[in-house]
């Protein structure tokens, strides 16, 4: 069953999609109340947050290990939204000799 809050959240998100700055602000406001929403946009925002957090973790591990992270590698990590792939990269970041080796399948 879809609640009125879910419907309102979805309608506002769709309407605001044409204005990226306003949509970003709306998402920041909604994220503070995600415990109350189970709408698709809420789940999307949560998933984006998980991905962003994982990407930050990968970069932190590399930084703490003293490994230089070229801009291209940093962009690939921060632009990835697949949490499964990011988890795989995080495991590799712990032992990879270079930042580029985070992406290897070994």
Residues 6+ apart with CB under 8 A from 97: 67
Domain ranges of the chain: 4-103
Band of the pLDDT at 37, cuts 50, 70, 90? low
C-beta separation of 80 from 51 below 8 A = yes
Whether pLDDT at 5 is above 70? no
Give residue 85's pLDDT.
Answer: 95
* Span 9-29, average pLDDT: 78
Tell me if the pTM is above 0.75: no
**DSSP conformation letters of 18-85:** T-HHHHHHHHHHHHTTGGG--SHHHHHHHHHHHHHHHHHHHHHHHHHTT----HHHHHHHHH---HHH
């Amino acid at each position: 069953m879809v609640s009125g809050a879910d419907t309102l959240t979805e309608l506002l998100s769709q309407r605001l999609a044409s204005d990226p700055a306003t949509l970003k602000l709306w998402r920041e406001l909604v994220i503070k109340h995600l415990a109350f929403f189970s709408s698709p946009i809420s789940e999307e925002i949560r998933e984006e947050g998980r991905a962003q957090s994982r990407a930050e973790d990968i970069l932190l591990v590399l930084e703490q290990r003293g490994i230089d992270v070229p801009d291209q590698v940093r962009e690939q990590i921060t632009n990835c939204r697949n949490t499964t792939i990011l988890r795989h990269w995080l495991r590799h970041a712990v032992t990879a000799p270079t930042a580029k080796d985070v992406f290897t399948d070994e």
